[in-house]
Structure 1
């Protein structure tokens, strides 16, 4: 038995959606008592730190309905079924920014909200960008504006909470701590 493991004895699917699924698990706790856990399953996602030749970081601004406001974020998107994360990262980079690369590396991966969701984001980085001759289209329900910012400008947007999501704040912190630009 794993330390603190909770054994599921009943699982009820509440909702199966296009992006997430919701279920309620009944579990036995390590002390033998029982509880319920509301859980979201997610296919996973990618995010890309993209640095231009003149040391600008590519961001996109887009409206986030759960927050009822726009955020400035690094390019990112959901894994499609059976798709490898590196291919998703390249697809999202091309669709959201109009850039591509032949040289991208995985930095790390992290869970976004492990208290209730299993979403795992794979974070990639590239500083070998090429502008696409013909831009790829966004998803039909996606509207973004491309931004190129210096690290200092990005740090200011963190302070003013225009950058206010974990993956993008992590990216800014990573770039600052590594002295990459």
Structure 2
């Protein structure tokens, strides 16, 4: 995993031809019984999310988020969160139709840590695109919307001193 991380950092272009396989192998490593391997896989996921083509990542991650098993689906959500944090609004806006259905479905997962990761990813998306994501949240029930709004407001409060962050006070109904 450490070697893969270094290769991704230094020669990411070599992985573009088989990025899907690379992402899948990194996500599979999150299942390893060794904590050190899991941590290295987490770091490697973050690096891959920043250096591999964004469309390739989203195209690979969304099906895993929708139908993958824990902890692979959780790792995919965390990777998508990192990807969201690293890209501009216009890029994320183009990918919303692919990302949002998978995240809304993950927000309903039986595993609490997967739901939590989905909420954090939705908050990260909101911090980039603001109200543009609202249309994708219509299927969420009232309590899930309240929780999401709470996390969004907390994030806005903690990042209000950060230049360039959307300052809108959003409440989705």
**Structure-1-length-normalised TM-score:** 0.28
More helix by share: 2
**Structure-2-length-normalised TM-score:** 0.29
More strand by share: 1
Larger radius of gyration: 1
